[in-house]
Amino acid sequence: MNIKILLMLVLLIFSPFNGIEAQIKQKTHAESPKKRLTMEAIKNIPEEFWKSGFVLNGCKITFPCKLIDLMQAGNYKSRAGVAMIPPTAKDEYWGTTVKNEKGEIINAVIFNPTAQALPETDCIVNSISITPRSDNWHNISDFAVFGLASKIATREEVVETVGKYCGAPAQVIDLPIIDYYDFYDKKPSETNPPHYGNIKISITISKMDSIYNERMIGFEFKHAGDFYRRQK
């Protein structure tokens, strides 16, 4: 398993679930399949959307979302079947993986803020990782974050655009065939030093000549829960 994903599962910390139970009840398994957007339509999405959402396989996903929302965006199936998740405390989480027929994989951390057990698909997503597996770098999902499309957005576009949304320069993790750009929610300081818990998103940039060289090929929302934690 990717080392960054392992770190995500070990270090992720939840905050209180105020207001989330009511939002869960607004969504059901009866949701219709998501409308697919063209690349042209994605370019025209209002800037405000990207502060709390992304696009996966042409489908708009807005936080807070449930696992089923991700699964419907590409016919993903859970490897765990229909697992029941018990109510989770603020410092608890469940790691899960979903996969579609193309072999595309989403790793997610989910939680259940209600008072009763819920199917895995009905739980809230707190962290999302969509990055090519090291044994199949060609299998790259179609997604867009902050208005940038996978396999198209360049390193320079990622640095400029995502940095504008996050308000702070990225920390770069330089590896032999890929680079990770970790963007923080707020500019690090002495009282708010760079650490895993305040990273908003990590972007994967390819350094492989034959596989989308210098292009964005993956992303990881470290704690998408920020989009509900800030609600009053």
How confident is the model over 97-120, as pLDDT tens digits? 998 888 888 899 998 989 999 999
How confident is the model over 119-154, as pLDDT tens digits? 999 999 988 998 877 666 777 889 999 999 999 999
Average pLDDT over residues 33-54: 83
- All structural domains of the chain with their residue ranges: 3-229
Average pLDDT over residues 49-72: 90
Q: In what order do the strands lie in the sheet with 59-62?
A: 59-62, 53-56, 143-145, 148-149
Average pLDDT over residues 183-201: 67
